[in-house]
Amino acid sequence: MIAVDTNILVYASRTDSPWHQRGFSALAAVAEGSDRWAIPWPCIHEFISVVTSARFYNPPTPIATALTQVTEWLASPRLVLLSEGASHFATLRELVDRLDIKGAVIHDAKIAALCIANGITELWSADRDFERFPALRVRNPLLL
C-alpha cells in the first residue's frame, strides 16, 4: 500500500505550485486506482496548516477550501487513514534510538513509524529526510 506525504498533498492542491501538475497527476493515479492507499493523519493536519498559512502562500488557501479538499480525499473508498495505535510508541522509539533522531526530524520519524507499523510498502514524498529510515521505501512521484 502506498502512503502519501504532506508535500504531495500540498502540490496536488495548490495550482500556483510549480509541482502542481505532477503532484495532482500522481495523487489522482493512486486515489483513483484499484488498490488501497493511505494518508497519515499528521499529514492531513500539516496539509491544512501549510496551505492556509500566509507564511507559505500568498494568498493562503481559505480554510473552507482546505477542509473541502480533505473531505474529498476522505471520500475515496480505498483510502486508509494511518493513526497511532498501541504499538506506535514502540516503533517510534526504536527508530529514534537506532537512528539517533531528535529535534524537528521527530515529526518525520512519527510519520515513518505510522507507515512501518501499518505495513506501508512505499511512502510518496518529495522530502529527502525520509531516506534516513531504511525500513521505509520512499519514492518521489514528482520525478517520474
Q: How far is residue 51's CA from residue 92's CA, in Å, rounded to a whole number?
A: 27
Identify the sign of the CA torsion 126, 81, 134, 103: positive
| Domain extent for 135 | 2-143
What tens digit of pLDDT does each residue of 77-102 get? Answer: 999 999 999 999 999 999 999 999 99
| Helix orientation angle between 41-51 and 105-117, rounded to the nearest 10 degrees | 140
Report pLDDT for 114.
97
Q: How many domains, the chain?
A: 1
CATH number at residue 135: 3.40.50.1010
Which pLDDT tens digit goes with each residue over 37-65? Answer: 999 999 999 999 999 999 999 999 999 99
State the average pLDDT for the chain.
Answer: 96
d(CA 42, CA 110): 8
